[in-house]
Amino acid sequence: MNGQQVLPEGSNRVLGRDAQRTNIAVGYAVAQMIKTTLGPRGMDKMMVSELGDITITNDGATILKEMNIEHPAGKMMVEIAKTQDSEVGDGTTTSVVIAGELLRRAADLLDSDIHASTIINGYKLATARAMLELQAIGEPIKITDTENLEKIASVAMGSKTVGVGTGKDVLAKLVVSAVKQVAEQRDGKTIIDKDYIKLEKKKGGDVLQTQLISGVLVDKEVVHLGMPKKVSNAKIALLDVALEIEKTEVDARINISSPEQMTAFLDQEEKMLKGMVDKVVKSGATVLFCQKGIDDVAQHYLSKAGVLTCRRVKKSDMEKLSRATGGRMVTTLDDLDAKDLGHAGSVEERKISGEQMTFVEQCKDPKAVTILVRGSTDHIVDEAERAVVDAIGATTSAVEEGKFVTGGGSVVMELATRLRKYAVEVGGREQLAIQAYADALEVIPKTLTESTGLDAIDTLVDLRHKHEQKDGKYYGVDIYGLKVGDMKAINIIEPLKVKKQALQSASEVTEMI
């Protein structure tokens, strides 16, 4: 039977070595595209979409998402960047670059007639060993270790444009304060929910004007002109109920035959709305955040009572307000009580780059905070936001895993050295794959060196020599000093989890391809 009849028209089938070679070539090409963005001296990329939207960034995950890759093997590379981004928030470029290099080394082994399953076994052994060695190399870190956490946040932002100069130190301090504020202790573990750090971005001003608000910034204005624009020592009611007369769904008719009846009807409606507002005022609330709508009449009564009010607040913001102020969400007005109210030192409406926003600040011990990111243009604000997201991810990962390693390519260089020794112990054909894995890891220091303009071969030889010594495990590429240096001495440290996830993702995608 002819094979053509099995597949639909227009489909093509690639078999055996050709398919393998194509997939490897595509995976490697994707890695080559974002390789130049690695590290503090990495280049930014400008992507223009079909609609003409411009994105300027060197965030690996963002570039890959915007690139619109068609080939299935290429899509798998994009997946690992997305996983890395959602799991740890940093190290996206690293994972893709290592995967690309593992694929290239695998292609050489395939050309030397080593079977694919042998290579996969070797890579699996190497990854398992690398995980063990990472744990041995890593050093402990706790949430109280502010100094080291700030260094980690600073390094995570180092590769972004906004992370150059003093900017990253200012942002690193904000990020670490935010992470420490929302952290909670459960069963002896530190749990950090990154969702409780709200990022609000507004263009205008300078990146250095980015601020941490110990409370929540709500992107809504005060509903009525007559209401106060600022309330100190605020008592805050959080309502998930509309201050409106619900029009019933049933087709009900109201027959009104005289003006008096009309007036009575309207009076009754007004009375009901006033009753609703009275319940809010009686609870002692001076500020009201409502998730649903508020009738104009109700707004009038609220403004007469001097209650600062925002309506149609997003559900996610209501949750954050509840965690920040200690208030409880109330779904029926009859239940509203003084003990349901939250507290904040100040609630104020301010104008930021032409838009009114409400700041809920000076909360006692807020378990939700806001970082207001500023920058002179949209592109800079977006990139600053990406930098902050990376820093939050890195800081959180460091605390949750409880260990850090040195950066600058030092940790992968140390792993490569240890894996080469391990390869000899394993023996057989697998050892060739383990050696290839070790060689592939060296792509990180090699790429960092290339982006600084140093000679890659000299640097790698020097690094290998240093890592063979007893006390050389901290040596990596000192990008600012343009030399091989001790990374621990110059404070280049990263969370262990970032490296762990990058290696796991990279080897898994390589094995699949």
Residues with a known catalytic role: 59, 92-93, 390
Residues 300 and 224 sit within 8 Å (Cβ to Cβ): yes
CB count within 10 Å of CB 154 equals 24
Tell me 206's DSSP state.
Answer: -
Residue type, 513: I
* Positive/negative CA dihedral, 238, 385, 94, 115: positive
Q: Residue 284: CB partners within 8 Å, gap ≥ 6?
A: 235, 338, 341
Side chain identity at 426, as an amino acid letter? V
- Phi first, then psi: give them for residue 489, nearest 5 degrees: -70, -35
Between CA 33 and CA 52 the distance in angstroms is 21
Interatomic CA distance for residues 221 and 497, integer angstroms: 41
Give the DSSP per-residue string, 164-188.
STTHHHHHHHHHHHHHHHH-EEETT
Q: For residue 264, what are the CA distances in angstroms to 244, 245, 271, 375?
A: 18, 15, 10, 56
Is residue 416 classed as helix, strand or coil in its secondary structure?
helix
CA distance 35 to 30: 9
Angle at alpha carbon of residue 346, lines to 340 and 347, rounded to 5°: 75
| Rg, the chain, Cα only | 29
Amino acid symbol at 303: S
What's CA 267's distance to the chain center, in Å?
A: 52
Rounded to the nearest angstrom, the gap between the alpha carbon of residue 208 and the centroid of all alpha carbons in its chain is 20
Residues 6+ apart with CB under 8 A from 298: 243, 244, 273, 276, 277
Name the region of 326 (left: φ>0; alpha: ψ -120 to 50; beta: rest). left
Q: What are phi and psi of 378, to 5 degrees?
A: -55, -45
Residue 300 DSSP label: H
- Report the alpha-carbon distance of residue 249 to residue 379 in Å, rounded: 47
Tokens of 240: 């998930």
**Residue 438 and residue 288: Cα distance in Å, rounded?**
60
What six digits make up the tokens of 344? 């904040």
What angle do the packed helices 443-452 and 456-468 form, to 10 degrees?
130
User: Which 3 state secondary structure label does DSSP give 218?
Assistant: strand
